[in-house]
A and B are shown apart, each in its own frame.
Chain A
C-alpha cells in the first residue's frame, strides 16, 4: 500500500532543503549584496573597517549567491552593437596591393603595364595592358595567396583571384578569410569594449557576443545608454602624422600618400598630412588625465620602447616643424616640435573639458577598436522605474499567492493546506534554482513566477480530483490516494511536457526579458511537477501513517 522507502523520503526532503537554503540569501537581498561586494573587495586586498563590517553581515557558511536582477528591474543601459567588418575587409584587401604590385612588376615582359582600377570596396581590380598575359597575371597573383589559419576551413586560401575578360584581374577575399577576419575583429572588439567598461568600474556588466558580428552590452547602473555609447562607440584610433600643410578647402586634392583631415576645434580648418603615421596608439602603454602648464585639461601618455624610439627619432629630425595628433580622423592638435622628445612620454592638449580628458585617457588606455560599431538597439531603464516594477511585482505576487492559498484551503481542506505548503516550498525552490544557475530575474520573469503560482496547483488539483473520484468507488482511503497519484501521473506529465516545450522554444528564440520569462516558466514547471508528484505525496503519506484515518475527505 502507501509506502515510500526511507531513502526516497530523505532524497525528497533533502532536495527541498537544498532549494530553500539556496533561496535564502534572496530574502535578505541588500544585506547579502553588501556582503558579496565586501568579500570581493577583501579579496582585492581592501581592509577598510566598513568593508569588514559589511562582510560580517552574512555568515560565510551560508550560500551567498543571489538571483541577478535584469536591467528592467535594476535600471541600467543596454546596447546591441554591430561590428562594421566590411571596412576591415577593404583594408585587408588594400593591404595586399603593394605585394601584388611588386609581384606583377617582375612579370612585366609578359603582362605589360598594369594599374589598379577604382571599383567596389570588396574587390581589387587590376587592368593589364597585354591581354595575352591575363592567365599569367592571375597565376602570379594566385601564388601570393596564403592558407587561412582557422578552425573549419582547412585548405582554404585567403584570397580568390579570377580573370575578367579581356584584360582585368579581380582579387577578392575568400569566404574563409572573411569569416576568420570577422571572428578576429569581433573578438578584439569584445575585448576592447570589456576593457573600457571595466575601466569605468561598474558592477557586473554583461558583454557578450551575439551571432556572428554583434555584441550585446548591458551595464546596470550606468546613467544612460548615451553615456555608455560615448564610452564604447568611439573607435579611439590615435595616430601621430607629419603635417604637410593647412587649408580651408575640404575639396583640395592631397598629393600622393597624403590625406586631408578636418580639425576638431577649429571649424573649417583642414590639415594635409602624410598618410603613414609616425607612431600609433598601439604603441601606447599608459595614458592618464592631467593638466598642461596653463592649467588646461590634457592627457598625459607614455610610449612603449619601440614607440618611444620611433617618436624620439622623428622629433629629433624634425625640430621646428609641426606634427598632428589625430584621433578618429580628426586632428586634435598640431603642435610644433620645439625640441626632441626622447623619453617616450608626451601630452595631448586640445579644447578638452576635464570629463573629456578623463574619457580620452580611458579610451587610449583600453586601446582602439579594430572596427566601427553601429548601434542597432539601445535601451535605458531608470533605476526608479526598475524599483517601481519590483514593488509592483512583489505586491502582485504576494496578493496572488495569498488568494490562491485561501482558495486551495477552502476547496480541499487539509489536503489543500498540504498543497499550500508545497506551493510555498515550490516558489522557494524556484528562487533557489534561479540563484544556483545564475539566472537573471526580469519583470516578465516575475510574471512567470506568478503564473507558476497559479499553475503549480494544477498538478495537485489533478491528483486531488482523482483521489476524490477513486474515493467514490470506495476501496479505502489508502488505495484511493495511491490510485489517485498513479492515474493522474500521465495527465500531469503530458500537460507539463507540452508547456515545457514552449518554454524551451521561448528560451532559444527569445532574448532579454522574454528569456527571463522562459527561464522562470521552465524552472517553475520542473519544480511544480516535483512538488506535486513527490513532495505532497511524501507529506500525505507521512500524515496518513501517523493518523491512520478510516475515512478521508479531499
Chain B
C-alpha cells in the first residue's frame, strides 16, 4: 500500500550547517517585532483600552464615510468604523464594526450613549440592526491588561520550571528562548499589520506557548534518549540525529494542526478570525523555532554527557551528576 509521506522515511539533514544564518534571521525578526511593538504599539481592542464596540448588520452596502461623519457629529471623541468582510457572509449581508473610545468619567457606556449612536446610524441606514454591543470601562480594561501580562509570564515561568525539572537547565533555556521567540514574533506581526489585539489574542498566545513547547519537548525527549544511547557522539551529531528522527512526527503534527486551523480560519467566521490567525502563525513559527532556535541554543550551551549513572534523581535538578 502506498503511503502519503511528507518526509522521507530516513533523513540525514544537517540542521546546524546554516545555524548562524537561521539564528540571525530569528534574532532580526525578534528585534523588528520588538521595535514594532515599542514604536507602533498594538491595535488594542476594547478589552484592553476601554470603550464600546457596536457590530452592525444591514442589507445595503456599508457606507463607512457616512457612518463616520454622522457619528463624529455626536462628539464622542475618537470613533472608528471598519467594514468586515467574510467569505461566510451571504451576498446581502453587510457588517461593520463601530468603535467608540471610553467616555470621560464613565465606566461602561451608558444606555443613552448607545441609544444615541444607534439612532444616528439608523438615520444613515434604516435597515441596520445591531447584533452586538460591548462596552468595557477603563477600570476593568486596566486590570485585564495586568492579568493578561501576568498570565503569559506565569505560563512561561511554569514551563521553564517543568522542563528544568524533567531535563537540564540548558534544555529549559532553549525551550523558553524558543517560546519567547514565538510569542514576540506573533506580537510583532499583530503590531505591524494592525490586527486587533484583545483577550482572545492572549488566549492564542498562551496556546502558542503550549504548542511551541509541545514541539520542543518532543525533540528534547529524543535528544535525552540519544544522549544516553550514544555516549561518545559529539553533541551536534546527537542533536542532528534527534531532529531527523523526530522530523517526520514534527511535520505530521504541524500539518494536521494547520489543516484544522486553516479550516477554522476560512470557515470559522470573522468573530474569531484574529484569534485563529494568531494560533496559525504561532504553529508555523513554533515548529520552526523548536528546531532552529531551541536546539541551536542547546548546542551552544552544551549539556552534561554522562547520563548513565544510576541516579534516582536522574534528569532533574537534584541530579548528582555534574554538568560539564
Check if B257 sits within 8 Å of A454, measured CB to CB: yes
In Å, the complex CA distance between A379 and B220 comes to 45
Contact segment of B21-29, B70-78, B132-140? B132-140
Given A494-B217, A505-B158: A447 and B130 within 8 A (CB)?
Answer: no
The listed residue with most B CB atoms (<10 A of its CB), out of A382, A494, A497, is: A494
Check if B109 sits within 8 Å of A72, measured CB to CB: no
In Å, the complex CA distance between A443 and B269 comes to 10
A462 proximity list for chain B (CB < 8 A): 218, 249
Number of A interface residues at 8 Å Cβ cutoff, please give it. Answer: 78
Given A377-B135, A451-B279, A502-B159: A392 and B260 within 8 A (CB)?
Answer: no
Does chain A have a CB within 8 A of B104?
no
Check if A392 sits within 8 Å of B267, measured CB to CB: yes
List B residues 214-250 near A (Cβ within 8 Å): 214-215, 217-218, 220-222, 225, 245-246, 248-249
Q: List 8 A-B contacts (CB under 8 A).
A: A224-B133, A225-B133, A378-B134, A447-B268, A454-B258, A495-B218, A505-B154, A505-B155
List B residues 40-67 near A (Cβ within 8 Å): 55, 57
B249 proximity list for chain A (CB < 8 A): 458, 461-462, 465
**Other contacts beyond A376-B107, A443-B271, A513-B199: 4, CB < 8 A:** A376-B137, A385-B271, A396-B268, A450-B263
Check if A382 sits within 8 Å of B3, measured CB to CB: no
Does chain B have a CB within 8 A of A293?
no
Does chain B have a CB within 8 A of A80?
yes
Given A396-B267, A509-B154: A499 and B214 within 8 A (CB)?
Answer: yes
Check if B203 sits within 8 Å of A518, measured CB to CB: yes
Pick the residue among B1, B5, B137 that contacts A375 (CB under 8 A).
B137
Q: Is the interface of B mostly helix, strand, loop or mixed?
A: helix
Number of B interface residues at 8 Å Cβ cutoff, please give it. Answer: 79
Does chain B have a CB within 8 A of A400?
yes
The listed residue with most B CB atoms (<10 A of its CB), out of A224, A379, A490, A498, is: A498
In Å, the complex CA distance between A443 and B275 comes to 10
Pick the residue among A412, A450, A469 that contacts B260 (CB under 8 A).
A450
Given A392-B88, A400-B263, A400-B264: A447 and B272 within 8 A (CB)?
Answer: yes
Does chain A have a CB within 8 A of B35?
no
Check if B162 sits within 8 Å of A513, measured CB to CB: no
Given A396-B264, A498-B214, A502-B159: A517 and B135 within 8 A (CB)?
Answer: no
Pick the residue among A375, A403, A444, A521 that contacts B263 (CB under 8 A).
A403
In Å, the complex CA distance between A404 and B155 comes to 29
Check if A385 sits within 8 Å of B131, measured CB to CB: yes
Given A490-B221, A498-B163, A501-B159: A510 and B108 within 8 A (CB)?
Answer: no
List A residues 69-112 near B (Cβ within 8 Å): 72, 79-80, 82
In Å, the complex CA distance between A501 and B55 comes to 35
In Å, the complex CA distance between A253 and B215 comes to 74
In Å, the complex CA distance between A461 and B4 comes to 14
B154 proximity list for chain A (CB < 8 A): 505, 509
Check if A514 sits within 8 Å of B245, measured CB to CB: no
Pick the residue among B55, B135, B162, B264 that contacts A497 (CB under 8 A).
B162
In Å, the complex CA distance between A553 and B9 comes to 13
